[in-house]
Every structure is written in structure tokens, then in C-alpha cells.
Structure 1
Amino acid sequence: MGAHNRWLMISVGLGILLNPLNSSMISVAIARLQNVYSLDFTVVSWIIFSFYIASAIAQPVMGKASDLFGRKKIFLTGLVVSFVASLLAPLSPNFGWLIVFRIVQSIGTSMMVAVGMAIVRIHITEKQATALSVLSIFLSGAAAIGPFIGGVLLHYWDWSAIFLINIPFVVASLLLAWRTIPKDESAASVAHNMSFRKWMELIDATGIALFAVGLVALLVGLLSAKSSGYVSWWHIMVGGIGLVTLGAFVRHELETTSPFIPLRTFAKYPAMTWVNIEFMLVNVLFYSLFFGLPSYLQMVRHVSEFHTGMLMLSLGLCSLIVSPLAGRWIDRSGPRPALVVSAVLMTFGSLWLVTLKQDSHVISVCVALAAFGISNGLNNVGMQAALFKSSPKEIIGVASGLFNTSRYLGTILSSLLISIVMGDKFSAEGLQVLGIILTTIALSLVLMSWRRKSRQWGES
């Protein structure tokens, strides 16, 4: 691989790591933000919801936009948007404005994730598999060390540093990308010949609006009822609007020619549908621990942000170490054995949360973190392999998009689960209840993985 290609990979890698880094760093800052803005966890959890809802919408939209306007333009624009959001977020006068800048940041970083892999796939022709695997390390490594970096920043500075730390990455990626990413010559003519109305139909603007409004309204209705401690007509009305809007979204997606989420694909390929359901449940489990445990450690056990980041590092390191080993195992045996072991480990880790008490040694938390970290490493490779085996080659692009949607939905549901269980205050009892719920979900995954027939995996 030549020097130009190496610098191209670095420029793209520095850009795409910003999305997973910012989604994971915030996990150790929840408790600090609660204190700064005097809010309960239910309200502060919107710092998580907003990022993933925006990412779920922005990534597929920006993937289509790159075909129209050019991948380099979208990548560079994403860097500029991320720079502005990271600079302005620390200046937020209230929590509402912080959410706004968090959404802008999510859109900016999603623009780079949406086109980063495509840029490398198109412009690096030698050792392409190696190049793509290196970018995967940027993505998974950033997510793994995010809580540790967040803990260090909070220990030595303040929550604003979690946003400002993005600026050096953005500037370095911008300078390199400007020089190393080739220009898309054909994009301008395509954009010139397409009307705004055609572009809105292409990205399914109606479907996006219905999805966003329905999901946000449903979450507001549920979380407001939980936060206030009673169910009012206003909560029912808002939640009902969300359900009706999501129903309209489903109907629209089944009828439109260019759906935001191609729901008909699920009905046509049931094996692929089950993979996406399992992947969604896997992410509910993983991110419930990922976002819930740091707040528990800081609020209940009074562990510092720095030491919380250190403990959470065990989760990421186990995942990073196991992923390449899992690849070799799955190449030999297929995805099913690895996914069964992963589900068993998540069951064990969830049960371990139930055993934790107020006076349990804080290091014992690492047992649950290690179990989930190893299972995440197995799932990173196993679920992707299961997707490829269950999806026909002619729709693999659509299948990958649905796969990412399942990830985001699982993440959003995990935040909702934590908010409902914990409410306004974290407690050891709340963690035990969460552990019981996660154990039930993990056991269902064990059964789903164990009973999956060979033909459903596409194996002969």
C-alpha cells in the first residue's frame, strides 16, 4: 500500500471514529450532567436518545446524498458540521441547547461514517480487505476506549472537554482529507439534473418525518409518565400520537417506491428478519450495561469518573481482544456456536448484576463487564456473518442498512429500559431489577440461537 493510500486511510479513520467515540464517551458524563443541570436521569437520557435517533436517520440519508453530491463533499461537510457542534456545545445556556448541538454533532459524524467505508472501497484497490479492517478498528476501538477517555477528561477538566476533544481530530482529518480524498467527478452532473422534489422522494422525506415524530412522541409520552410518577391524559395523548404516527410510517413504507426503511424486505426474507431481531436484542443487552453501569458506579458506589472509565475499559479491551479470535472460530465453525456462547455469557453477566449488593467489592463489577465484553467481541463478527449467510447477495446493501437500523433501535430501547427501571435516581435495587430483565432477554437469545436450524443460517 502506497503512502498516499495510507494517508487516505488515516484521514478517513480520524473522521469516522468521531461517531462511536462521542456515543461512548458520554456514558461516564451522565451523572455529571445530572448535577450540572439539576435534572433526573429520565431527562438527561435524552443526551443518548437524541444522538442515536439522529444517527439512525442521518446515516442512510447521507449515504444517498453522497451518490448525488459526491462523497468527498459529504465527508468534508460532516467535518465542518462536527467542528461547529463541538465548539458550541460547551457554550450551551441550558440542557435544551445541549441536546440541539448533540443532534447536530450526530448528523455531522454520521455523514463521515456513511461515506467513509465507500471512499476507501472505491479509491484503495490494493489490499482492500486490510484497509477496510483497519477502518473497522478505528470504529470499534473508538467505541471501546470512549468511556476511559471520557473518565480521564472529566477527572482533569469538565464535561465540556468531551466535546472539545473532537476538535484536534476534526482539524487533522479535514487537512488530510482535503488533500488525499479524490474528487467525485460524476456527482455534480447527477445533482444538477435532479430536482429538489425528486431528491426529497429519493430520501423518503415523508417516511423520515413520520419515523422521527412517532418515535420521539412515543418516548416523550412514556418517559414523562415515568418521571412524574403518574399517567395523565397528556401522557396518553402524546404516546398515542406517537403510536398512530409510527403506524402511519409503517403504512407509508409499505407503499412508497423508495422507502427509508424497506419493511417489505423483512417479510420476504424471514431468516434475515430473525437475525435483525436478535441483533436488536443483543444491543439492548449490551448498551443497557454500557450506559447503566457507569451511572450506577458514580451515583450509588461513589466511584470517581476516572476510575469508572478505568473499570469500563475492561469491557472494551475484552471486546477488542476477542473479535479477531472470533473471526477465526466463525470461519471454521459458522456463526451459530459463537452466538450461543455469546448469549450464555450475556446471561451470566446479567445474573451477576442481580447478585451485586451495596457492599459488594467494586472490582466484582468487572466480572459482568468482562462477560459482556467477550460476548460483544463474538457478536461483532458472529452477527455480521449471520447476516451475510441469511441475506441474498443481490440485497446485501439493503440488508446492511437494516442491520445498522436494528443496532440503533436496540440502543434506543436500552436507554428507554434504563430510564423506566431507574427513573429519577439510580439504586442498587434498581440495578438488580435491570439485571433480572436483562437475564430474561439473554435467555431468550440463548433459545433463539440454540434452536436456529441450519437452513436458516444458509448452511448446507
Structure 2
Amino acid sequence: MTTVRNGLTRRELLLITAVALGTLLNPLNTTMISVALARLQEDFRLTFGEVSWLISTYYLASAIGQPIMGKWSDMFGRKRVFMLGLTLVTVASCLAPLSPSFGWLIGFRIIQAFGSSALFPSGMGIIRSQITSGQAKALGAMSIFSSTSAAFGPSLGGMLLHYGDWPLIFLCNFPFIVGSFLIAWKVFPRDTQQSGRLSDMDWPGVGLFSATIFVWLLFFLSVAEGANLWMLALGAGLSIWFYRYERGRRAPFIDVAFLRNNVNVTLIYVQFILTNICFYSIMFGIPSYLQQVQKLDPQQTGLVMLSIAGFSVLVTPLVSRWIDRSGSKPSLIVGTLTAVVGSLMLLLIRDGTPAAVIFLVLCVLGIANGFNNLGMQTILYDFVKKEETGIASGLFMTSRFIGTILSSSLLAALFGKAISTPQLHGMAWACAALSVLMVILTLRLPARRPVVASK
């Protein structure tokens, strides 16, 4: 097998490419739809609150789907689950532009969310089992596609709306789907015979987990209009019930005993939630601010937002090489400190601030995003056995969507009545405070990679 640059074989590069093309579908579709909300609101004659369910249900389905698909990839085979995910995304992307009503569109988006949720946990399991050296480089490529691609969503969505209409946001998935499917079919290793059955799944645990996530979503969406204390109490009660139920299961859906006993993994998930609260607050808050306060048109807004995506991509290869040499913790320290600085730099933005200055401020946040995304992914797998990759990756991405839901709550509280520079500065202070917590969580992690034994 021929070795190419960076010590990876041609087959390994193709394998990474297949996983990466599939993996970007979930984060890209998360943010790409945001610029189409106004058109959808007009087409289906909806209020903003009604059309926002298109985003909220996608978050909800992804938060639930990631651990389910992660579990399935461990039970039934990673290649099978990856191909199933691509098939579901294909069906949803074909049918969504033909939706006769908004309810149908939400249904197809939920199918799309579940399908795309299968791709990251199954793909990461394949990469960890097939690539034994230079894993940080492989995970660096995955970081660009699984997290950084979300930053390209508003820019790509704006371009598609400029030259067409909202159906293009679904149809543009097909080049990625076809490329991923063809390469995966050829290079993915054949699944071994699996003994898992659907009846082995902890379906009561899945139902309880889904209900818990849904109630918390309703609570966070209610914060802007005054927190619903009944929802808060119900969410807390369901969380306690879910924890106690799963703790007593022999084969639980979520291994809460593992999370309780492995504090480092649990705190990594907490830190990733905080990372995504900051990232998605900026990704969804800044475009609205630029258009409504700075009076930039959608195309200009998309170009300014490219600063975050562009610099995330630029620093990721450098970070991956650093992690291979020194481990994940140093890069995370730099990333979290840069997030504090970038958040505080948002305070420099005033009414009438030139777009070039805003671009430079967002560049700092893009650098922080590149460091944090790859650092968080690589440090997670320092504490997770290879055979646990599927469920661990699913929970990792569930943490991302919990952070996304919480960012919606933060933005609703800040921008619910009006979008202005003082509200932007409030978001900056909130993101800076969360970034300081991220620094503290990073500093408490072990300095060296632990050796995780196999079962």
C-alpha cells in the first residue's frame, strides 16, 4: 500500500474523504437554513416563532439521533449504519423541496437530521479502527468537516438564495452524498457479522432520554418570554428519573455509570457544550446584527462571516501537527484563551464600525474555533476505548446540539425584543464568561495522554 504525504496511505486518505464528505452534512444543514427563514416564512405564511421550529426540531432530532446512531454503529456495524445515514439524507433532500405544507417540511428535516446523525459516530469508529498512526491529522480533517463546516453554512446559504430559492439548500447536499457514498462503498472495511438485535436496544431509556431533551428544549425556548417554572421542574424531574433508570440497567442506552466514574469524559462534554454555546451564539447572532444594525446586505454579511470559517480551516492543519507532537491540552489552552480575547474584542464593535474591522475581530474567533474543535475531539479519545468510539462520538455530538439549543436561549433573551449594539455587547460578555469557564476546565485536565486499555 503506497504511503503518501503526512504518513497516510492512499486508502486511508480516501477513507477520511468519504467520512468527511458525509459528516459535514449535519453541521452544514444546521446553519445553512438560517438565512432562508425569511423566505420560508413568506412562502408558508408563518410567524418567526413558527418558522423557528424548523431549526429547533433539527436540533432536537440530532441531539437524540447522535447517541442512538452511535449505539447502532457499535451494535450492527459501522459501514451499515453509515450507508443507512446517507440513504436517509438522500430521501429527505429529495422530498423536502416538494413539501406541500410546513408540517411536511419539518418531517423531512427530522429524517434528514436522523440520517446525518449516523455519519459522525460510525465514521469516527471506522477512522479510529483503521488509522493507527497520525490520528490527530485524520481527526484534524474531520474537525474541518464536522464542526468548521457549520461556519460556512450562512455564506453558502446566502449564495444559494441569491441565485435561486430555498429548495437549493436541500438539493446542494447531493454532490456530498454521491461522493461519500461511492468512496465509502469502495474503501470502507466490510462489517463483521454482528450479533446485535433491535430488541437489545434500551428503548425505554431512549424514550426517557428523548422526553427529557424535548422538555428542556421547551424550557429554554420559553426563557425569552419569562422562564416556565413548570417546564423547569419537569425537566429536572425527568433528568433525575433518567439517571436513576439508566444506572440500574445492565445494558443502558446512556452509560451514566461510565460518565460518573470517568469525570474527565463528563467534563469534556460539559466543555464542548460551553464551546458551542459561544460558537452558535456568534454564528446566529452576528449575521442578524450585521444586516439590521450595520445595514449590510446578505451577500456582504456572508463574506464577513467567512472570516470565522476561513481562519478555522487555516489553523486546523497547524493545530493537528502540534497535537501529534505535544498532546491536546496545550492547543486547548491556546484556543480557550483566544476565545476569551475574541469575545472581548466584540466590545470594539460600534454602530457604523467598518466591515473590515468586524472581519478582523471575527478572525480571532475563527482561530479560537479551529483550536477548540480539534482539541476537544482529540482529547476525548484519549479517555475512550476504541470499542466505545461510536457511543462516545454520538454523545460528543449530542453535547454540540445541547450547546446549540442553549445558544438559542441566550440569543432569545438578548435579541428577543430588539437587535442593537448594546445587546451585541451583552452577548460578548456572556461568551467571555463562558470562555473563562472553558479555560478553567482545560487547566484541570491531565497534562499527558492517558493509556486507555481495551476491554
TM over 0.5: yes
**Residue matched to 1:145:** 152
Q: Distance in 1 between matches of 2:339 and 2:134?
A: 35
Aligned to 1:84: 91
Superposed displacement of residue 107, structure 1: 0.7
| Structure 2 residue aligned with 1:308 | 301
How many Å separate the matches in 1 of 2:331 and 2:129?
32
Residue among 413, 429, 433 paired with 2:422 = 429
Aligned residue number for residue 408 of structure 2? 415
After superposition, residues 21-32 of structure 1 pair within 5 angstroms as: 21-32=28-39
**Displacement of 1:419 after TM fit?**
2.1
Amino acid in structure 2 at the alignment position of 1:62:
M
| 1:267–1:7 Cα change, 3 Å | closer
Q: Which residue number in structure 2 is paired with residue 246 of structure 1?
A: 239
Q: Residue 384 in 1 paired to residue 380 in 2?
A: no
Task: Choose from 362, 383, 398 the match for 2:355.
Answer: 362
Letter aligned with residue 309 of structure 1:
G
Question: In angstroms, what is the RMSD of aligned CA positions?
Answer: 3.4
- TM-score norm. by structure 1 comes to 0.82
Hey, what's the Cα distance between the residues in 1 that align with 2:176 and 2:399?
28
**Cα deviation, residue 78, structure 1:** 1.9
Q: CA deviation at 1:40?
A: 5.8
Flag structure 1 segments of 5+ consecutive residues without an equivalent: none
The one-letter amino acid paired with 2:63 is A
Does the Cα contact within 8 Å between 1:48 and 1:415 map onto a contact in 2? no
Change (3 A) 1:88 1:444: same
The Cα of 1:283 is off from its aligned counterpart by: 1.7
Letter in 1 for 2:217: L
Instruction: Tell me the TM-score normalized by structure 2.
Output: 0.83
Question: 1:375 Cα shift?
Answer: 0.8
What amino acid is the match of 1:113? F
Aligned CA distance change for structure 1 residues 210 and 299 (closer, same or farther; 3 Å): farther
Residue matched to 2:5: none
Matched, 1:317 2:310: yes
Partner Cα distance (1:125, 1:240) in 2 = 46
List per-residue Cα deviations over 1:415-441 (Å, max 9, x = no partner).
Answer: 221122222553333222222221222
- Deviation at residue 62 of structure 1 after TM alignment: 2.0
Structure-1 separation of matches of 2:325 and 2:129 = 30
Per the alignment, residue 331 of structure 2 pairs with 338
The sequence identity of aligned pairs, in percent, is: 42
Change (3 A) 1:431 1:94: farther
* Cα distance in 2 between the residues matched to 1:447 and 1:316: 26
Note if contact 1:82-1:104 (Cα within 8 Å) is conserved in structure 2.
yes
Q: Structure 1 residues 160, 319: CA separation in 2 closer, same or farther (over 3 Å shift)?
A: same
For 1:217 and 1:158, the matched residues in 2 are separated by: 33
Deviations 1:79-114 (A, max 9, x none): 221122112222334444333222110111122323
Structure 1 residue 318, shift from structure 2 partner: 0.8
Number of the residue aligned with 1:284? 277
- Flag the structure with more relative contact order, 1 or 2, with Cα contacts below 8 A and sequence separation at least 6: 2
| 1:123-162 mapped onto 2 (5 Å cutoff) | 134-140=141-147, 142-162=149-169
The separation in 1 between residues aligned to 2:107 and 2:278, in whole angstroms, is: 27
Paired residues of 1:326 and 1:381 also in contact (CA < 8 A): yes
Whether the aligned pair in 1 keeps the contact of 2:85 and 2:119 (CA below 8 Å) is yes
Match of 1:99 among 100, 106, 109: 106
Between 1:113-122 and 1:273-282, the stretch displaced more is 113-122
Deviations 1:256-291 (A, max 9, x none): 222232222233233333333222212211121122
Aligned residues: 443
**Contact 1:52–1:411 (8 Å) recurs in 2:** yes
Deviation for aligned residue 1:315: 0.5
Give ranges in structure 2 of 5+ residues lacking alignment: 3-9
CA drift at 1:376? 1.2
What is the SS of the residue equivalent to 2:118?
helix
Please state how far the C-alpha of 1:4 moved relative to its aligned partner.
7.0
Query: Could you say if the C-alpha distance between residues 437 and 225 of structure 1 is closer, same or farther in structure 2, counting changes exceeding 3 Å?
Result: closer
- State the match for 1:212 in structure 2: 210
